[in-house]
Amino acid sequence: MVAVQRTVVRRGDTLIVDGVAYDLQRFAHIYVVGTGKGSAVMAQGLEAILGDRISAGAVTVKYEHVAPVERVTLYEAAHPIPDAAGVQGANAAMELVRQAADDDLVFCLLSGGGSALWPAPSGGISLAEKQRMTGLLIDCGARIDEINVIRKHLSAVKGGQLARLAAPARLITLVLSDVVGDRLDAIASGPTVPDPTTFRDCLNILTRYDLLDRLPDSVHAHLQQGLAGSVPETPEAGDPVFELGQTVVVANNRLALRAAREAAEARGYTTLLLSSTLEGEARHVARMHAAIAQEICQSGQPISPPACIISGGETTVTVRGNGKGGRSQEFALAAALHIAGLDATVVLSGGTDGTDGPTDAGGALVDGRTVARAEALGLQPEAFLHRNDAYHFFQALDDLLLTGPTGTNVMDMYVVLVGA
């Protein structure tokens, strides 16, 4: 909410969005649509600014990620595997923007999780087939930007297609970025911005992960039709539908990391903001962080203790087991194995949205004694990691990070503390 109110300022009948002024008197209606784990709180912030000038709204959030709103209708839906409630929310948003005229203003509020929460399958593809496709992409270890390339080309709303529906209304998009590098076309699959990807890119990704022979028949047929040109491509840069649009990133991972660094320094830590662009397998990235902690313990490099290493990004997990967890919990479990025995060393791994994967935990907290504590209870950390079952491992130790929904989503944060 604060991020929206910092970006959008109202002065009487003038609305200023990231320095661009709009005369509210020229708009007959103001509509609000949106999707993502943080979009309800974003809508709450926009309502505080515009009040009864908002004519109607339809925003889809993950279950239990709601916030008090009055002018906007909230739809709760499933993430990361879409459900029928998500289809209902997406349809409501599309219906709202279709009725917008050239004297109307549409706000689109986007945050992480928006792709899954706005399923609007292209013609001929069922929700069940979209669900199966999403599961295949998640389990194969594909990066989120690769998953979103597929999503855009199986959707009626993503990849700039909402902008096509909203034209000729004025369109303002406010974004909480959950994507490395803040790529607008990847956040919530870019429903209001040009799409640089193609049907050919989809086939290349599916080939890379050996998924072509596992596709639902309707998905395979749709992609082939797209390659042949019988299904139109998503709108690209230069398309006139984008001429009346403004898109602003109101918050991102880097902003969250800077706030964490300030909090650590206020507590007397020497800090190093390592990166806000981490990607790769969660267990491999965790091992790198553990190596930095070991180096600090042994040599006082790259910073001297008491030290706080802060980083962020979005890792992936290639699912090979049948356990329960998320990428932040898997990171924490892998880190625990590599810092075992290190004195005064603590690692926190958490999703800024407060929900890591399909669990109620935001992540987990480990230290140099975690492995020993687990083994004393008869738990084998390596076995839990092998079957991707970090949730039950940390549940047994009471080391899950349980914050509940935070109202934001700017990827994940990793904090390594090494005491003096």
Task: List, for residues 39-83, the tens digit of each pLDDT value.
Answer: 999 999 999 999 999 999 999 999 999 999 999 999 999 998 999
- Do residues 241 and 264 share a domain? no
In a domain? residue 205: no
pLDDT of residue 123: 82
Query: pLDDT confidence of 272, banded at 50, 70, 90?
Result: very high
> What pLDDT was estimated at residue 145?
85
114-161, pLDDT tens digit by residue?
999 999 999 889 999 999 998 999 899 888 889 999 999 999 999 999
Closest CA to 96 of 157, 176, 40, 149: 157
Residues 270 and 379 occupy one common structural domain? yes
Mean pLDDT of 2-17: 96
Q: Are residues 191 and 91 in the same domain?
A: yes
Range of the domain at 385: 254-418
Are residues 346 and 316 part of one domain?
Answer: yes
Shared domain for 306 and 320, answered yes or no, is: yes
CATH number of the domain where residue 102 is located:
3.40.50.10180
- 280 and 191 within one domain: no
How many domains, the chain? 2
Does residue 246 sit in the same domain as residue 258? no
Nearest to 254 by CA among 186, 312, 325: 312
Same-domain pairing of 80 and 189: yes
Tell me, yes or no, whether 241 and 305 share the same domain.
no
